[in-house]
A and B are shown apart, each in its own frame.
Chain A
């Protein structure tokens, strides 16, 4: 069956249908969460987009007795030397984790705030609410921080999302299938990320199911 599907997808009828598959309403499958909501974070819609508060992606995975959570934001951005740093003192970041029913309310809310240091590129992060960690974790960004078994890091990374956005847009505008699985719009770009590695024990005894979501908020209101 899979072979048949591949054949069908590869044929001209399949190509036409795939072209149609991409002729979808604006926003459909164009991103994980980058530039959403557009009225606040998309420069094509909002003249003053809130780039630092724009969540790009949330990841959560488990292996070898630890849960890993990453939330990317402010991306994708160019890898150029002129791209500014997107740490913003006025944005509050939250990573919420539900470990008990109901799955829609968090047992843990991890809060991140950024603060400027004395040097031109000195930025620090203060993190509170980490499961199993007493007090706050605080230190420079671009540094691995560790306390009570939990590892955290905030910094600039390769944009981890992959998708042929160019093919999507070209197909939508021309009606000719342009999508390719060897072209990734997000190649070579970056975004900023919050990464956590949390031992199972820190989440509580017997916890087997998590619900994870991110939130951002801006001090004093939307820009």
Chain B
């Protein structure tokens, strides 16, 4: 009831009142029903923004080498090179220690890419605690096998019956690579267009050779900071990138 009332209130609120309502949210992100700062659509046309030239150059190397809290000394570089999803079975799962389907990986990844982890109060969960994006899936995950929710709508599903299926038996050499994935959003966020295919054709073993894609990751993250570094700082957050 309270959440519904709050949500209705937020829908009518101005950014200023949103500031007050969000400040009252629980520290654990319990204000998940609150719409994240979405200013009401402007009645006047807004020009499409373009990246503006800046004299500031960013070097995001430190973002890859800083220790991430709660990850047993791991840093972003060790987590994404090689690009495998790493899971320590002795610790509870929450990305980047493995990945449970319910983990808010976009918010966690953005915080890990952008924020200085040496600042008190900043960590991999800073944005997820707001939260920036939807905090959970639209359907509950199952506690038992097969864990993922049933499909939506009236979609076709296979019969679940039959026998004598006609499988290929060709060797692996008869197949050509299409896609690979370890960590979420690394291929989409930190690999530039010109390297997309080659990255997906590679293997984690190749990632390790001379840290093959490390310079690419840094370069792409530098570009990201060039667009938004000052804005993130404008929030009162300290970024992990150095500026020259």
Taking CB atoms and an 8 Å cut-off, the chain B residues in 153-168 that contact chain A are 153-168
Closest CB of chain A to B224's CB: distance in Å?
Answer: 6
Q: Which of B100, B155, B167 contacts A80 (CB 8 A)?
A: B155
With a cutoff of 8 Å between Cβ atoms, the chain A residues found around residue B37 in the complex are: 9-11, 14-15, 18, 177
B159 touches A140 (CB 8 A): yes
- Given contacts A79-B151, A124-B162, is CB(A217)–CB(B15) below 8 Å? no
Give the one of B21, B131, B164, B184 with max A CB within 10 A.
B184
Taking CB atoms and an 8 Å cut-off, the chain B residues in 8-32 that contact chain A are 15-16, 18-23, 25, 27, 31-32
Contact surface of A with B, Cβ cutoff 8 Å: 1-18, 20-21, 23-33, 36-41, 50, 53-55, 57-63, 67-68, 70-72, 77-81, 83-85, 87, 89-92, 96, 98, 102-105, 113-126, 138, 140-144, 151, 153, 155-158, 160-164, 167, 173-184, 186-190, 193, 195, 197, 200, 207-222
Write 6 A-B pairs (CB below 8 A) sorted by A numbering: A4-B236, A5-B235, A9-B235, A24-B227, A28-B189, A122-B158
Interface: B196 (CB within 8 A): yes
- Given contacts A17-B231, A33-B187, A53-B179, is CB(A160)–CB(B23) below 8 Å? no
With a cutoff of 8 Å between Cβ atoms, the chain A residues found around residue B20 in the complex are: 10
Q: What is the bound-complex CA distance between A151 and B142, given in angstroms?
A: 15
A14 touches B235 (CB 8 A): yes
A209 touches B88 (CB 8 A): yes
- Given contacts A39-B196, A162-B133, is CB(A195)–CB(B235) below 8 Å? no
Interface: B5 (CB within 8 A): no
Q: What is the bound-complex CA distance between A41 and B51, given in angstroms?
A: 28
Taking CB atoms and an 8 Å cut-off, the chain B residues in 175-234 that contact chain A are 175-182, 184-185, 187-189, 193, 196-197, 199-200, 203-205, 207-208, 220, 223-224, 227-228, 231-232, 234
B23 touches A6 (CB 8 A): yes
A176 touches B39 (CB 8 A): yes
Q: What is the bound-complex CA distance between A61 and B51, given in angstroms?
A: 39
A5 touches B130 (CB 8 A): yes
Q: Interface on chain B toward A: helix, strand, loop, or mixed SS?
A: loop
A84 touches B162 (CB 8 A): no
Q: What is the bound-complex CA distance between A184 and B17, given in angstroms?
A: 24
Task: Mark the stretch among B54-62, B63-71, B79-87 that contacts chain A.
Answer: B79-87
B205 touches A213 (CB 8 A): no
B159 touches A164 (CB 8 A): no
With a cutoff of 8 Å between Cβ atoms, the chain A residues found around residue B145 in the complex are: 68, 144, 151, 153, 195, 197
A220 touches B89 (CB 8 A): no
B89 touches A16 (CB 8 A): no
- Given contacts A13-B234, A25-B224, is CB(A37)–CB(B36) below 8 Å? no
Q: Which of A61, A197, A208, A216 contacts B179 (CB 8 A)?
A: A216
Closest CB of chain A to B106's CB: distance in Å?
Answer: 5
With a cutoff of 8 Å between Cβ atoms, the chain A residues found around residue B152 in the complex are: 79, 158, 188-190
B179 touches A37 (CB 8 A): yes
B172 touches A92 (CB 8 A): yes
With a cutoff of 8 Å between Cβ atoms, the chain A residues found around residue B19 in the complex are: 7, 10-11
Closest CB of chain B to A82's CB: distance in Å?
Answer: 8
With a cutoff of 8 Å between Cβ atoms, the chain B residues found around residue A116 in the complex are: 165-166
* Further contacts, 4 of them, CB under 8 A, given A23-B228, A140-B163: A13-B234, A181-B134, A195-B147, A216-B179
Q: What is the bound-complex CA distance between A138 and B169, given in angstroms?
A: 14
B232 touches A163 (CB 8 A): no
Closest CB of chain B to A119's CB: distance in Å?
Answer: 6
Q: What is the bound-complex CA distance between A40 and B197, given in angstroms?
A: 8
Give the one of A33, A143, A187 with max B CB within 10 A.
A33
Q: Which of A2, A36, A126 contacts B196 (CB 8 A)?
A: A36
A184 touches B156 (CB 8 A): no
B156 touches A121 (CB 8 A): yes
B235 touches A13 (CB 8 A): yes
A59 touches B101 (CB 8 A): yes
